Amino acid sequence: MLLRVASGDARAFEQLFYTWHHKIGAYVLGWTKSLLVAEEIVQDVFLKIWLNRETLHTIEKFENYLFILARNHTFNHLRKTALERVKQREWATHFESDQEPAPAALSEEFLPVVELAIQQLPPQQQKVYILKRQQGMKYDEIAAQLGISPETARKHLAAALRNITQYVQAHKRVVLLVLTTPLIIS
pLDDT digits (tens, 9 = 90+) for 126-154: 999 999 988 889 999 999 999 999 999 99
Looking at residue 27, its amino acid is: Y
Kindly give, in sequence order, each residue whose CB lies less than 8 Å from that of residue 67, ignoring residues fewer than 6 positions away. Answer: 24, 27
Looking at residue 183, its amino acid is: L
Reported for 140-146, long-range contacts at CB under 8 A and 24+ positions apart, including other chains, are: none
Domains of the chain: 2-82 (1.10.1740.10), 97-179 (1.10.10.10)
State pTM to two decimals.
Answer: 0.50
d(CA 179, CA 171): 13
pLDDT digits (tens, 9 = 90+) for 48-82: 999 999 999 899 999 999 999 999 999 999 998 88
Kindly give, in sequence order, each residue whose CB lies less than 8 Å from that of residue 55, ignoring residues fewer than 6 positions away. Answer: 6
